[in-house]
Structure 1
């Protein structure tokens, strides 16, 4: 998916970011298509209902309401950015969210 050294030795990191992008409605169609193709493989590894995002959620023991919580945080961050005349790109938000909530 990417050759960024950020993901070296951390196979779930990029998938978690893609999960966040999916939750906020900012996942590219290209990424969505690729993730749909690997959905069955992810399901065989992590479980779930066959959808890639469900497998990722199960791998991290996320609650059902996680996508809504991510969307709420995205909306709050967009508002903070608007007030401060700063643009927060979706990918940067995804990285920040994952770093804050899923990395040790």
Structure 2
């Protein structure tokens, strides 16, 4: 099993959190966005919530409106902090850090 497979084993929602972060900072690729938009109805049905995939993920986390702006602010702060330390924080690294910080072990 690869490191990526290990990361998501038993935690499928973790990838959705990462995608939400990537979407909020404008870094979600078109192919992934299309796949998420296509799966939104089934995801919403399984979680008993009607909305876009972003709304479904936010609702599962009990986040209200404005979460996208809050994620962008965290991205800007973290990117600046990393830059001050001589580190380049990639969008994928940020998304993983964001998802990890917002999920309890075993819950996502």
TM range (shorter): 0.7 to 0.9
Normalised to the residue count of structure 2, the TM-score between the two structures is: 0.85
1:8, distance to aligned residue in structure 2 (A):
0.4
Higher relative contact order (Cα pairs below 8 Å, separated by 6+ residues): 2
1:63 aligns with 2:64: yes
Question: How many residues get paired?
Answer: 101
2:41–2:50 CA contact under 8 A, matched in 1 = no
- Structure 1 gaps of 5+ residues are none
1:29 aligns with 2:30: yes
Normalised to the residue count of structure 1, the TM-score between the two structures is: 0.88
Partner of 1:39: 40
1:72, distance to aligned residue in structure 2 (A):
0.1
1:42–1:56 CA contact under 8 A, matched in 2 = no
- Name the SS for the 1:48 alignment partner: coil
1:18–1:27 CA contact under 8 A, matched in 2 = yes
- Structure 2 gaps of 5+ residues are none
Q: Map 1:88-99 to 2 at 5 A.
A: 88-99=89-100
Structure 1: distance between partners of 2:15 and 2:28: 12
Partner of 2:50: 48
Instruction: Report which stretch shifted further, 76-85 or 31-40.
Output: 76-85
- Name the SS for the 1:34 alignment partner: helix
1:15 aligns with 2:10: no
